[in-house]
Amino acid sequence: MFEANVYKSRRDRLKNLMSNGFAFFPGNDESSMNYPANTYHYRQDSSFLYFFGLDQPGLAGVIDFESGEDYIFGNDVTMEDIVWMGHQPLIKERAAKVGIKKTLPLEKLDDFISKKTKNGKKIHYLPPYRGETILQLTHLLGIPADKIKKESSLDLTKAVISLRSVKEKVEIADIENMVNVAYEMHTAAMKMAHPGIYEREIAGKIEGVALSLGGAVPFPIILTINGQILHNHHHGNLLKKGRLMVVDAGAESGLGYASDITRTSPVGGKFSQKQKQIYKIVLYYSIDHHCCFFVQGKRRQIH
């Protein structure tokens, strides 16, 4: 995680943008694959990571715009947890690393939210994208599940977008590290793109590159000789001479910052004349209509 002052500064800037009530940021929980203890790779909610920085399940955060107080809700590990994971820091120790002094057990969240809303405090939350989060909000607020997204806070959404759209130097450094990992992934794919190789061999290799360099893939790798099919995740085709291979892949750091690069390579290493002409047209268009993001309020270009 970043230094505590990074997260404190983000929460303080959010308080300056919001005039009343409090914001509730539910963290993500584990998601099981085929039985409860066997879970998918864990990914914390991005906005929770941005403001609270703690990358573990079973947490929730609150920012009170009127009192100025910040809270982390979560339970300390049990003996059974320690058997599985070894010694773990206390919640208050974790919270201190992101500049938060007030912590409460997760079971206190219901009463906390209920008291604030009964006292007329407006609760702000972002549109949820997970079914578990929708159910949690339904339980906490008494709003029907099919109305939860509609009742989310537009003011909070705009405020969070305005903050997260402007990247800090520490964020840029992490993104650039992941771009360097993506470079290794894509050059490995290009070197392997020979007739007689199955797509899955290359896809598996470049995912391994991401994992070996300290990241993970932020989305399923798209690697195919059928690039006309958008978001093709099928990796069963055999590469043949004269075909083109498209790879859309990147890497994500433990802090949640990712690279996402798409490249097209000729199977066997050489474009035909027609392929080369089309590639140059697409390349020119891509550079002319480049992507960008903002660094400290200034537009940063990615070619």
Question: pLDDT tens, 206-216?
Answer: 999 999 998 89
Which of 23, 22, 41 has the alpha carbon at shortest distance from 31? Answer: 41
**Exposed e or buried b for every residue in 263-284, given b needs 16+ CB within 10 A?**
ebbbbeeebeeeeeeeeeeeee
Q: Note the CATH architecture for domain 4-164.
A: 3-Layer(aba) Sandwich (3.40)
**pLDDT classification of 134: cutoffs 50, 70, 90:** very high
pLDDT at position 66 over 60: yes
Tell me phi and psi for residue 293, to 5 degrees. Answer: -145, 180
Q: From residue 228, give the alpha-carbon distance in Å to each of 176, 231, 261, 263.
A: 29, 9, 17, 14
Question: Tens of pLDDT along 8-27?
Answer: 999 999 999 998 999 999 99
What CA–CA distances, in Å, run from 196 to 155, 246, 260, 267? 54, 16, 27, 10
Tokens of 10: 């983000």
Measured between alpha carbons, how far is residue 174 from residues 169, 242, 256, 299 in Å? 9, 38, 9, 18
Q: Does the fold of domain 169-302 match that of domain 4-164?
A: no
Q: Which CATH architecture has domain 169-302?
A: Alpha-Beta Complex (3.90)
Any residues with CB less than 8 A from the CB of 273 and at least 6 apart, and which? none
Coil/strand/helix, residue 190: helix
DSSP calls for 262-278: EEEEETTS---HHHHHH
Is pTM beyond 0.75? Reply is yes
What is the reported pLDDT for 83? 80
Q: What is the mean pLDDT of residues 178-195?
A: 97
Q: Please give the helix or strand (H or E) that residue 102 lies within, else none.
A: strand 102-104
Return the structure tokens found at 238. Answer: 């055999």
pLDDT at 142 over 60: yes
Instruction: Sketch the domain layout of the chain as residue ranges.
Output: 4-164, 169-302
Q: Which long-range contacts (CB under 8 A, 24 or more apart) does 127-130 make?
A: 127/152, 127/157, 128/26, 128/152, 130/28
| Nearest to 123, CA basis, from 110, 105, 108, 107 | 110
